Amino acid sequence: MEFEELYQDVILDHSRRPRNFGELPDATVHVHGDNPMCGDEINVHLKFGPDDTVEGITFTGNGCSICMASASLMTTKVKKKSRSEAEAMMHTFQDMLTAEEEKPPGMRLGDLELFKGVRKFPLRVKCATLAWHALEEALQKKV
Protein backbone atom coordinates (compact mmCIF):
# COMPACT_ATOMS: atom_id res chain seq x y z
CA MET A 1 0.00 0.00 0.00
CA GLU A 2 1.24 3.44 -0.85
CA PHE A 3 1.29 6.21 1.67
CA GLU A 4 -1.00 8.31 -0.52
CA GLU A 5 -3.75 5.77 -0.06
CA LEU A 6 -4.07 6.98 3.50
CA TYR A 7 -5.38 10.24 2.26
CA GLN A 8 -8.71 9.11 0.99
CA ASP A 9 -11.44 11.58 0.14
CA VAL A 10 -13.20 11.48 3.47
CA ILE A 11 -9.97 12.05 5.39
CA LEU A 12 -8.97 14.90 3.10
CA ASP A 13 -12.38 16.47 3.41
CA HIS A 14 -12.33 16.35 7.21
CA SER A 15 -8.79 17.71 7.37
CA ARG A 16 -9.68 20.66 5.14
CA ARG A 17 -13.06 21.38 6.71
CA PRO A 18 -12.87 19.99 10.24
CA ARG A 19 -16.26 19.49 11.89
CA ASN A 20 -16.96 20.71 15.41
CA PHE A 21 -13.84 22.84 15.27
CA GLY A 22 -13.78 25.72 17.73
CA GLU A 23 -14.41 26.53 21.37
CA LEU A 24 -17.37 25.07 23.23
CA PRO A 25 -18.55 27.90 25.48
CA ASP A 26 -20.30 25.72 28.08
CA ALA A 27 -17.78 22.87 28.06
CA THR A 28 -17.02 21.43 31.48
CA VAL A 29 -14.03 19.31 30.47
CA HIS A 30 -10.95 20.47 28.59
CA VAL A 31 -8.14 18.12 27.68
CA HIS A 32 -4.89 18.96 25.94
CA GLY A 33 -3.04 16.46 23.81
CA ASP A 34 0.17 16.77 21.87
CA ASN A 35 2.28 14.65 19.62
CA PRO A 36 5.76 16.22 19.53
CA MET A 37 7.00 13.74 16.92
CA CYS A 38 4.79 15.43 14.37
CA GLY A 39 3.95 18.77 15.97
CA ASP A 40 0.25 18.02 16.43
CA GLU A 41 -1.41 19.87 19.28
CA ILE A 42 -5.10 19.76 20.03
CA ASN A 43 -7.54 20.56 22.79
CA VAL A 44 -10.78 18.65 23.22
CA HIS A 45 -13.71 20.45 24.83
CA LEU A 46 -16.56 18.37 26.13
CA LYS A 47 -19.84 18.83 27.92
CA PHE A 48 -21.74 15.94 29.46
CA GLY A 49 -25.53 15.98 29.47
CA PRO A 50 -27.65 15.17 32.53
CA ASP A 51 -28.05 11.56 31.37
CA ASP A 52 -24.28 11.08 31.07
CA THR A 53 -24.22 11.50 27.31
CA VAL A 54 -21.67 13.51 25.38
CA GLU A 55 -23.92 16.48 24.87
CA GLY A 56 -21.35 18.61 23.10
CA ILE A 57 -17.80 18.10 21.90
CA THR A 58 -15.48 20.32 19.91
CA PHE A 59 -11.76 20.62 19.36
CA THR A 60 -9.24 23.35 18.71
CA GLY A 61 -5.59 23.28 17.79
CA ASN A 62 -3.33 22.48 14.94
CA GLY A 63 -2.08 19.30 13.41
CA CYS A 64 -1.28 17.37 10.28
CA SER A 65 -4.14 16.24 8.08
CA ILE A 66 -4.34 12.78 9.66
CA CYS A 67 -4.57 14.32 13.12
CA MET A 68 -7.15 16.93 12.14
CA ALA A 69 -9.28 14.47 10.19
CA SER A 70 -9.21 11.95 13.02
CA ALA A 71 -10.20 14.60 15.58
CA SER A 72 -12.98 15.86 13.33
CA LEU A 73 -14.41 12.39 12.73
CA MET A 74 -14.04 11.52 16.40
CA THR A 75 -16.23 14.47 17.43
CA THR A 76 -18.93 13.62 14.89
CA LYS A 77 -18.96 9.97 16.02
CA VAL A 78 -19.12 10.41 19.78
CA LYS A 79 -21.46 13.40 19.96
CA LYS A 80 -24.76 12.40 21.57
CA LYS A 81 -23.36 8.99 22.54
CA SER A 82 -23.41 7.77 26.10
CA ARG A 83 -20.15 7.75 28.01
CA SER A 84 -19.92 3.96 27.72
CA GLU A 85 -20.71 3.94 24.00
CA ALA A 86 -18.02 6.58 23.44
CA GLU A 87 -15.56 4.51 25.47
CA ALA A 88 -16.33 1.36 23.48
CA MET A 89 -15.81 3.23 20.22
CA MET A 90 -12.52 4.64 21.46
CA HIS A 91 -11.20 1.21 22.44
CA THR A 92 -12.30 -0.29 19.13
CA PHE A 93 -10.58 2.49 17.20
CA GLN A 94 -7.36 2.24 19.21
CA ASP A 95 -7.34 -1.55 18.84
CA MET A 96 -7.79 -1.23 15.10
CA LEU A 97 -4.61 0.85 14.89
CA THR A 98 -2.43 -0.59 17.62
CA ALA A 99 -3.44 -4.17 18.46
CA GLU A 100 -0.64 -6.63 17.81
CA GLU A 101 -2.94 -8.91 15.87
CA GLU A 102 -5.12 -7.43 13.21
CA LYS A 103 -8.70 -8.48 13.86
CA PRO A 104 -12.15 -7.40 12.76
CA PRO A 105 -13.40 -4.45 14.81
CA GLY A 106 -15.70 -5.33 17.70
CA MET A 107 -18.23 -2.81 16.49
CA ARG A 108 -18.95 -1.00 13.26
CA LEU A 109 -16.86 2.12 12.95
CA GLY A 110 -18.08 3.40 9.60
CA ASP A 111 -15.80 6.08 8.17
CA LEU A 112 -13.37 5.59 11.03
CA GLU A 113 -12.31 2.32 9.39
CA LEU A 114 -10.59 4.42 6.74
CA PHE A 115 -7.82 5.00 9.27
CA LYS A 116 -6.95 1.32 9.32
CA GLY A 117 -4.20 1.87 6.75
CA VAL A 118 -2.35 3.98 9.30
CA ARG A 119 -1.36 0.76 11.12
CA LYS A 120 1.48 0.35 8.68
CA PHE A 121 2.96 3.74 9.52
CA PRO A 122 3.87 3.76 13.21
CA LEU A 123 4.68 7.48 13.24
CA ARG A 124 1.24 8.26 11.88
CA VAL A 125 -0.53 6.09 14.44
CA LYS A 126 0.19 8.76 17.03
CA CYS A 127 -1.35 11.39 14.76
CA ALA A 128 -4.49 9.32 14.25
CA THR A 129 -4.95 8.41 17.91
CA LEU A 130 -4.11 11.78 19.49
CA ALA A 131 -7.71 13.01 19.60
CA TRP A 132 -8.86 9.63 20.94
CA HIS A 133 -6.33 9.71 23.75
CA ALA A 134 -7.64 13.15 24.64
CA LEU A 135 -11.18 11.78 24.53
CA GLU A 136 -10.14 8.91 26.80
CA GLU A 137 -8.85 11.37 29.36
CA ALA A 138 -11.96 13.54 29.03
CA LEU A 139 -14.30 10.59 29.52
CA GLN A 140 -12.55 9.66 32.74
CA LYS A 141 -13.40 13.00 34.28
CA LYS A 142 -16.67 12.83 36.13
CA VAL A 143 -18.31 16.21 35.70
Cα–Cα distance for residue pair 17/72, rounded to 1 Å: 9
In angstroms, what is the minimal distance from the CB of 36 to Zn ion? Answer: 10
Chain contacts with Zn ion (rule: CB under 5 A): 38, 40, 64, 67, 127
Q: Please report, as a single letter, which amino acid is at residue 54.
A: V
- Cβ-based nearer residue to Zn ion, 78 or 118: 118
SS3 of residue 7 by DSSP: coil
Residues 70 and 115: beta-carbon distance below 8 Å: yes
- Cβ-based nearer residue to Zn ion, 40 or 136: 40
In angstroms, what is the minimal distance from the CB of 123 to Zn ion? Answer: 8
- Cβ-based nearer residue to Zn ion, 67 or 139: 67
- Residue 18's φ and ψ, nearest 5 degrees, are -60, 135
In angstroms, what is the minimal distance from the CB of 38 to Zn ion? Answer: 3
